[in-house]
């Protein structure tokens, strides 16, 4: 007996088989066409580029070498430049330009923090006492002379593209020179020092009479940022022999990049001055915020980047080269720092405040950390060379790149409740305050870590 | 390597579906849903745990690795036992093979 349904089923089967065959043919034809198009390079370059860059965040002019900004998973909002805020830092009054001689290390050199701090700082003893750290710092000092950082621009202005393309090009120059992050900002006028400090020999006599006024006011600042090296930080206590070398690693590399960039811009016929570890005419923290590379953290002066935290150092170039500035960023760091306080819990000098709220300082709001205590500890540290314990323990700084840390930083950037959760998870898994011995590659000379005897 | 692992994870996920499918369907619909939800949850927690433990141990985060072993694999074990019980792999009385063999 032939059942009707059998015949219907076989017809359906045949129909299905035909459909599948058609589907396979269509698939093969599409693949072949796509392959031929690819082989012939028939797609216009612009279309391919648009497809490749369809996703991802960018701030300001797009670099060709780093077309999307890497914020390590953090939810980042862009903030407009204005007079009341620098990124997420609230400006509540008139910010005065400060004298370089009044910064922490200069105060130590002037004897304001006592004789031990003065001895510890004099001629960078606190860095030079470790031979490796001293070797890097000595190189960085070779970038210090004024002719390295500034000069007269070429009398003939070379032909350059529009500001958008020029900004892209300048970013690519910095990435080519091995910067980890680059940003361009509107130069805040208050970021300039009022005066350059005099020589170390004058400072030690507390004589500021030979200070040089800083008169430069250029409209843009290019900030280059270099990582202080994750594995080294994971192996370090944060205040052992390698601590200053981590800073010097980033100081000397950013210094080199900034000097070359400034030279290049002057060769194009525009004014440019490099600012780096051994020759600043400006404070770097506001420059970093203006260039969209971070927010001011609980430490009071360290600016954290969404991916690197404040495990970085920067140098800058101020210039009048026509550029398109990036926007300052907000990734929820203030909410995070308000509930975290891990840096304050772990600071060996007790310099970082546990306060919940910020205080007014020189016309802006920041956490009330004690820079005297911080400087004193760094220049007199008998367990090593300088200190970066806050950097080591900060949940934003202490991680390798992985899917769960990306998820973690996304959580941490979403307000106080989620920040509290991230802090608890960070503590539960023991991140930040561990020393991973397998990465400890450097040598220690503890007998050299005391203060100089003469 | 990553591509192979993702492929392997997908194959294992499908193999798990095929394995529990004959037992997942229950007389009440919500019980069937519970079985599948538990399976997906168990798979996700186990996968996340293995990845988390592997990455942390290779970097050298000792506390993170040991905490993750207890946390993720512990949760995975608990869910696996519950799921096995619901699917009838555990806790059912054994059927008598030969009822005639009685004292």
pLDDT averaged per 10 residues, chain A (length 454): 40 46 52 47 49 64 90 91 92 96 96 96 94 97 97 97 97 98 97 96 95 98 98 96 97 98 98 97 98 96 95 98 97 95 96 95 95 97 97 91 91 92 94 95 96 83
Q: What is the pLDDT of residues A98-117, one digit of tens each?
A: 999 999 999 999 999 999 99
pLDDT at A37: 44
Cα separation, A230 vs A406, whole angstroms: 16
Nearest chain A CA: its distance from B12 CA (Å)? 21
The verdict on a CB contact (< 8 Å) between A404 and B55 is yes
Interface test with A, best of B2, B59, B62 (most A CBs within 10 A): B59
pLDDT at A316: 98
Cα separation, A175 vs A171, whole angstroms: 6
Rg (CA), chain B: 18
**Residue A272 and residue A154 in contact, taking contact as beta carbons nearer than 8 Å:** no
* Chain B, window 18-57: residues with a beta carbon less than 8 angstroms from a chain A beta carbon: 48, 51-52, 55-56
Q: Which residue has the tokens 């009385």?
A: B93
Interface test with B, best of A233, A400, A422 (most B CBs within 10 A): A400
Q: For residue B63, list chain A residues with Cβ-Cβ distance below 8 A.
A: 429-430, 434
pLDDT at A401: 87
* Contact A400/B at CB under 8 A: yes
**What does the DSSP 8-state code read for residue A446?**
G
The verdict on a CB contact (< 8 Å) between B63 and A430 is yes
pLDDT at A29: 54
Share of chain B above pLDDT 90, in %: 78
The residue-averaged pLDDT of B79-90 equals: 94
**How far is residue B27 from each of residues A247, B18, B33, B62, B103, measured CA to CA in Å?**
67, 19, 11, 47, 36
pLDDT at A28: 54
The residue-averaged pLDDT of B84-98 equals: 75
pLDDT at A57: 76
Q: Which residue has the tokens 């009440």?
A: B28
Nearest chain B CA: its distance from A394 CA (Å)? 15
The verdict on a CB contact (< 8 Å) between B51 and A403 is yes
pLDDT at B2: 79
Interface test with A, best of B2, B6, B52, B63 (most A CBs within 10 A): B63
Residue A60 main-chain phi, psi, to 5 deg: 70, -150
Cα separation, A257 vs A302, whole angstroms: 21
pLDDT at B99: 56
The verdict on a CB contact (< 8 Å) between A431 and B61 is yes
Q: For residue B67, list chain A residues with Cβ-Cβ distance below 8 A.
A: 428-430
Nearest chain B CA: its distance from A343 CA (Å)? 19
Give chain B's mean pLDDT: 90
Q: 3-state class of A152 per DSSP?
A: coil
Smallest CA-to-CA distance from A136 within A276, A246, A258, A291 is with A246
């Amino acid at each position: 007996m032939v059942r009707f349904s059998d015949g219907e089923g076989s017809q359906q089967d045949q129909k299905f088989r035909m459909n599948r065959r058609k589907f396979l043919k269509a698939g093969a034809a599409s693949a072949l066409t796509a392959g031929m198009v690819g082989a012939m390079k028939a797609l216009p370059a612009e279309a391919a580029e648009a497809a490749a860059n369809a996703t991802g965040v960018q701030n300001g002019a797009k670099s060709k070498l780093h077309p999307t900004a890497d914020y390590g998973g953090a939810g980042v909002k862009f903030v407009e430049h204005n007079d009341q805020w620098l990124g997420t830092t609230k400006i509540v009054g008139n910010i005065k330009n400060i004298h370089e001689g009044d910064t922490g290390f200069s105060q130590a050199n002037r004897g304001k923090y006592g004789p031990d701090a003065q001895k510890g700082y004099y001629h960078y003893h606190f860095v030079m006492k470790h031979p490796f750290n001293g070797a890097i710092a000595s190189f960085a000092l070779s970038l210090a002379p004024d002719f390295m950082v500034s000069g007269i621009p070429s009398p003939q202005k070379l032909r350059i593209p529009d500001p958008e393309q020029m900004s892209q090009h300048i970013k690519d120059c910095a990435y080519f020179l091995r910067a980890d992050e680059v940003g361009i900002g509107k130069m805040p006028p208050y970021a300039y020092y009022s005066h350059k400090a005099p020589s170390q020999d004058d400072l030690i006599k507390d004589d500021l009479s030979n200070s040089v006024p800083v008169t430069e006011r250029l409209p843009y600042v290019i900030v280059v940022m270099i990582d202080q090296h994750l594995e080294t930080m994971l192996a370090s206590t944060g205040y052992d022999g390698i601590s200053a070398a981590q800073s010097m690693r980033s100081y000397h590399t950013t210094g080199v990049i900034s000097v070359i960039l400034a030279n290049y811009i002057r060769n194009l016929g525009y004014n440019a001055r490099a600012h780096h570890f051994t020759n600043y005419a400006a404070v770097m923290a506001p420059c970093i915020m203006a260039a969209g590379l971070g927010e001011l953290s609980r430490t009071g002066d360290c600016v954290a980047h969404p991916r690197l935290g404040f495990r970085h150092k920067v140098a800058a170039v101020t210039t009048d080269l026509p550029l398109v500035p990036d926007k300052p960023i907000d990734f929820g760091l203030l909410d995070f720092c308000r509930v975290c306080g891990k840096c304050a819990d772990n600071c060996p000098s007790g310099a970082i405040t546990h306060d919940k709220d910020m205080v007014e300082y020189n016309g802006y709001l920041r956490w009330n950390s004690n820079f005297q205590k911080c400087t004193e500890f760094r220049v007199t540290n008998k367990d090593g060379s300088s200190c970066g314990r806050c950097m080591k323990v900060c949940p934003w700084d202490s991680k390798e790149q992985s899917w769960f840390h990306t998820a973690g930083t996304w959580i941490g950037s979403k307000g106080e409740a989620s920040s509290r959760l991230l802090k608890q998870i960070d503590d539960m898994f023991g991140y930040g305050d561990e020393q991973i011995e397998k990465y400890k590659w450097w040598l220690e000379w503890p007998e050299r870590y005391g203060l100089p005897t003469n | 390597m990553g591509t192979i692992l993702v492929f392997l994870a997908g194959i294992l996920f499908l193999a798990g579906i095929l394995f529990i499918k004959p037992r997942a369907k229950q007389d009440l619909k919500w019980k069937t849903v519970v079985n599948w939800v538990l399976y997906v949850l168990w798979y996700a927690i186990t996968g996340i745990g293995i990845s988390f433990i592997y990455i942390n141990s290779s970097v050298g985060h000792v506390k993170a690795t040991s905490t993750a072993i207890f946390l993720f694999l512990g949760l995975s074990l608990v869910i696996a036992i519950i799921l096995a019980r619901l699917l009838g792999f555990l806790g059912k009385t054994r059927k008598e093979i030969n009822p005639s063999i009685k004292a």
